[in-house]
Amino acid sequence: MKNLREIALPELEVMMAAMGEPKFRAKQVHEWVWQKFAADINDMTNLPKVLREKLAQEFFIPKVKMHHSQYSSDGTIKNRLQLHDGYYVESVLIPTEKRMTACVSSQVGCSLSCKFCATGYMDRKRNLDFDEIVDEVTLLNELAQKHYNKNLSNIVFMGMGEPLLNYKNMMKAIERISSPDGLGMSPRRITVSTAGVAKMIKQLADDKVRFKLALSLHAATDHKRNEIMPINESNNLAALIEALNYFYKATGSEITFEYILFKNFNDRLADADDLIKIYRQVPADLINVIEYNPIDAARFEKPDEETTDEFMKYLTSKRVNVRLRRSRGKDIDAACGQLANVDTPNTPVP
């Protein structure tokens, strides 16, 4: 059985002609798949029954299903999504006064083994297909409409997995999400976060992408970054700085650094100085300093408020554009670095 959503409109037209069907049938099928988000070929009620039966013999629609949701006291909603082959991923809807953000996953598990991230302690089972990523976004958009009467305003690839190691599907999903006959979202409202794959950052540049890029930095020396992010051993800071400058020169797209503060590891003023050195070498728009969200598997702790304030004030005094990103959904393990596919029950809407 083939995935019907992998058949592009021109191919559908050829296929319909081979079946002796008029050309407009292809557009009808395409609309059912990408605008009406049909879950089954039999739902395509404006197609003749005979045609539906023919299609059902050869194709299926591997829809992602909502398994359950958890509701945070701050309005964040974490969702466990079931894939057609029985695997699960988690995604998060994050509402604020100005934004309605979907945090989506790109892989089942992750292969990078970052020491502070719950997903990093999982095995990578497989990449998500492009249409599964689109389903994630669609389901979160429906959730936003249902609970907040708003559409998504932003999408961040900051969930489970490394998006640049699922490059083809990520790119195809973003193309579909930003298509006028899809969700029609501007690429400028989409941010792809990477742990740092220099070769693929350069590929983004060569592909002239229009979305934003975030680098999960978290330590500003190779020694410390090697300790918490094994990927740095093959993609060191010098290679990443070169790749980010190459990316900006080719695209002009916004670059952000993500920097989680860990108690007694990267939260001193000397660490801030190292961070500033990196910041000065890249045309980054912003450093997001992130509160650490503890996980059972890791030894890290969150620094106290005084240390965090001192770190922030020091960066600001050095004319660094920096913002403290407060965690959302901590009470349901939906915050940054906490997605791990834990099988928890539905929670009632507060």
Q: Which amino acids are annotated catalytic?
A: 90, 336
Written as one letter, the residue type at 242 is E
Q: How many CA atoms lie within 13 A of 273 on its CB side?
A: 3
> Can you tell me the distance from the alpha carbon of 204 to that of 252, in angstroms, rounded to the nearest whole number?
12
Q: Which residue has the tokens 């007694």?
A: 264
The number of residues in the chain equals 350
**196, two tokens:** 């740092």
Contact between 4 and 39 under an 8 Å Cβ cutoff? The reply is no
Contact between 205 and 246 under an 8 Å Cβ cutoff? The reply is yes
> Can you tell me the distance from the alpha carbon of 257 to that of 289, in angstroms, rounded to the nearest whole number?
8
> Helix, strand, coil proportions of the chain in percent (round to 5)?
40, 20, 40
CA angle 191, 195, 199 (to 5 degrees): 90
Residues 28-60 as b or e (16 or more Cβ within 10 Å = b): bbbebbbeebbeebeebeebeeebbeebbeebe
CA angle 103, 104, 108 (to 5 degrees): 140
Least Cα distance to 75 among 104, 106, 105, 97 occurs for 97
The SS3 call for residue 193 is strand
**323, two tokens:** 């913002």
